């Protein structure tokens, strides 16, 4: 190998890059562990406060029995009639329901991990239209049971007070459903059977104060669903099966409005279905996501770590050939170790200061360390500052890639093209045959 010093140097640099990939993987493992710790902190807050919330209902729920005579064939071919009583449930959804919600957010801390919690005031109005139950058998008799309005929230611990429900202007008490009732929603309000007249219109109003963590959503069960949400949180993330028809987001908060007709959703069918594996009804929601997720951004940064080290080593190697510098493999290793340490510094500082201050602090520390080190390795401040300037440019480009996720591929491709072009220009007059000897 002494006959080919250039080839030997390239192979040693490649070996060093493989060696440095081990601490890079360890840093990625630390990022994953801290991200899992944050999720555990979120779950701890949710257990003590309330979890994600989805509001369902109200729904008119009426059990009934159907009694009819059925002919039974006996063994001798004779027939007889027997009285059969079957139990069923009639479900009626609101013909229209409009909800206006106000959302206030607060940050709770578990160690260094912030968790977004909220309190909301939800005011709904709407109406039911009762239609008589259609018998399933001929000449049968229908007997209605106790009608009720059912309500649901994902986590009952989030109820800040008893829901205020009025039907036809009369207040109705809302209570938790008993386990023996086996109702599809956890809150029940009994109605008067006399209110269920054919064609009767039952207007209702509902006020619900609810606390939760991370996300709030609605299941569109009415024939016409309209929801208007207002909050001071400036970074909403809209999700679920339906996006808002209109939305306005600013530094002072956001407003969003949904309008979902029953023709465009399967929520009613999914709610009314029975069986061992009922589907989860369609819904729409808002999440209180942090727009700058330090763990996601740090993890993305480490994915560029190998390319970052490769570009740095390539710059040193080319300048070593062009400027006749002599850089020992051990010095390459220590330079690479400083580059890897940048990502660990970025993670640890970002948990306390945020991503941008952490990026500036970690990159300044690593560039300052390398500038001082390269001054002695390269024999002066001038070459040391030259290489430090290249590192500043690399760190700047990396930050631009991280902040522009949609353009990351294009920026990365342009960076690699620019580096290759620079290497080709810088080495255009190098006699590689003489260098190989």
Share of the chain above pLDDT 90, in %: 38
Q: In the listed set 250, 270, 287, which residue is the last one of a domain according to the structure?
A: 287
Transcribe 134-162 into DSSP letters. Answer: PPSSTT-EEEE---EEEEEES-GGGBSS-
pLDDT value, residue 406: 63
Strand partners, 216: 53, 286
pTM: 0.78
Together in a domain, 178 and 224: yes
C-alpha distances (whole Å) from 91 to each of 11, 65, 68, 88, 254 are 74, 14, 22, 10, 35
Together in a domain, 25 and 122: no
Q: In the listed set 287, 314, 343, which residue is the last one of a domain according to the structure?
A: 287
Q: Which residue has the higher pLDDT, 159 or 46?
A: 159
Together in a domain, 225 and 342: no
Q: What is the pLDDT of residues 31-79, one digit of tens each?
A: 899 888 888 888 888 888 889 999 998 999 999 998 988 877 777 667 7
Q: In the listed set 270, 287, 304, which residue is the last one of a domain according to the structure?
A: 287
Together in a domain, 101 and 231: yes
Helix (H, G, I), strand (E, B) or coil at 276: coil
Ranges 17-21, 66-70, 181-185, 374-378: which has the least confidence: 374-378
- 212 has a pLDDT exceeding 90: yes
- 404 has a pLDDT exceeding 80: no
pLDDT value, residue 349: 92
Together in a domain, 124 and 241: yes
Q: Who contacts 118 (Cβ-Cβ below 8 Å, separation ≥6)?
A: 103, 104, 105, 106, 211, 212, 213, 216, 231, 233, 288
* 44 inside domain: no
pLDDT value, residue 259: 96
Q: What is the pLDDT of residues 230-239, one digit of tens each?
A: 999 988 999 9
- 132 has a pLDDT exceeding 90: no
Q: Who contacts 13 (Cβ-Cβ below 8 Å, separation ≥6)?
A: 313, 317, 329, 332
CA trace torsion 316, 320, 325, 330 (10° rounding): 50
**Cα–Cα distance measured from residue 300 to residue 294, given in angstroms and rounded to the nearest whole number:** 10
Together in a domain, 391 and 372: yes
pLDDT value, residue 42: 83
pLDDT value, residue 285: 94
- Reference 54, options 338, 226, 352, 282; nearest CA is 282
pLDDT value, residue 430: 66
* 33 inside domain: yes
Structural domain that includes position 226: 49-71+79-287
Confidence band of 120 (pLDDT split at 50, 70, 90): very high
Share of the chain above pLDDT 70, in %: 92
Token output for 265: 């959703």
- 205 has a pLDDT exceeding 60: yes
Q: Which residue has the higher pLDDT, 211 or 424?
A: 211
Together in a domain, 252 and 326: no
Q: Which residue has the higher pLDDT, 291 or 197?
A: 197
**Cα–Cα distance measured from residue 99 to residue 55, given in angstroms and rounded to the nearest whole number:** 11
* 258 inside domain: yes
Together in a domain, 65 and 12: no
- 6 has a pLDDT exceeding 80: no
Together in a domain, 358 and 377: yes
The number of distinct structural domains making up the chain is 2
- 246 has a pLDDT exceeding 80: yes
Together in a domain, 359 and 421: yes
Confidence band of 94 (pLDDT split at 50, 70, 90): very high
Together in a domain, 178 and 248: yes
Mean of per-residue pLDDT scores for the chain: 86
Confidence band of 433 (pLDDT split at 50, 70, 90): low
The reply to whether omega before 339 is within 30° of 0 (cis) is no
Q: What is the mean pLDDT of residues 288-294?
A: 77
Q: What is the pLDDT of residues 298-343, one digit of tens each?
A: 888 888 888 888 888 887 887 777 767 777 888 888 888 998 999 9
pLDDT value, residue 8: 77
Confirm if 119 and 209 have CB atoms less than 8 A apart: yes
């Amino acid at each position: 190998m002494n006959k080919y010093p250039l080839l030997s140097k390239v192979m040693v640099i490649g070996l060093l890059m493989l060696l440095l990939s081990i601490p890079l993987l360890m840093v990625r493992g630390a990022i994953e562990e801290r991200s899992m710790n944050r999720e555990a902190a979120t779950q701890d807050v949710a257990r003590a406060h309330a979890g994600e919330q989805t509001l369902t209902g109200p729904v008119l729920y009426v059990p009934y029995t159907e009694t009819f005579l059925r002919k039974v064939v006996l063994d001798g071919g004779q027939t007889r009639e027997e009285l059969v009583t079957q139990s069923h449930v009639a479900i009626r959804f609101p013909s229209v329901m409009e909800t206006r919600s106000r959302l206030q957010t607060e940050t709770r801390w578990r160690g260094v991990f912030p968790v977004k919690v909220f309190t909301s005031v939800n005011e709904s109005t709407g109406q039911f239209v009762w239609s008589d139950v259609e018998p399933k058998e001929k000449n049968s008799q229908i007997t209605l049971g106790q009608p009720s309005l059912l309500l649901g929230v994902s986590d009952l611990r989030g109820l800040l007070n008893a829901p205020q429900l009025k039907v036809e202007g009369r207040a109705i008490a809302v209570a938790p459903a008993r386990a023996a009732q086996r109702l599809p929603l956890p809150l029940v309000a009994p109605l008067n059977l006399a209110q269920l007249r054919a064609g009767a219109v039952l207007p209702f109003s509902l006020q619900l104060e609810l606390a939760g963590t991370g996300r709030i959503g609605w299941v569109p069960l009415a024939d016409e669903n309209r929801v208007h949400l207002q909050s001071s949180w400036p970074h909403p993330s809209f999700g679920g099966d339906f996006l808002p028809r209109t939305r306005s987001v600013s530094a002072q908060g956001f407003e969003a409005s949904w309008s979902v007709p029953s023709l465009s959703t399967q929520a009613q069918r999914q709610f009314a279905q029975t069986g061992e594996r009922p589907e989860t009804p369609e819904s729409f929601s808002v999440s209180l996501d942090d727009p700058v997720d330090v763990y996601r951004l740090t993890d993305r940064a480490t994915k560029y770590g190998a390319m970052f080290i490769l570009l740095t080593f390539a710059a040193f190697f080319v300048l070593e050939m062009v400027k006749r510098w002599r850089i020992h493999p051990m010095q390459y290793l220590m330079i690479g170790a400083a580059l890897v340490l940048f990502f660990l510094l970025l993670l640890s500082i970002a948990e306390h200061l945020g991503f941008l201050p952490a990026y500036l602090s970690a990159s300044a520390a690593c560039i300052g360390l390398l500038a001082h080190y390269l001054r002695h390795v390269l024999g002066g401040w001038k070459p040391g500052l030259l290489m430090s300037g290249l590192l500043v440019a690399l760190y700047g480009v990396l930050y631009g890639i991280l902040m522009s996720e949609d353009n990351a591929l294009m920026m990365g491709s342009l960076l690699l093209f620019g580096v290759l072009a620079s290497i080709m220009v810088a080495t255009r007059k190098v006699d590689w045959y003489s260098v190989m000897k």
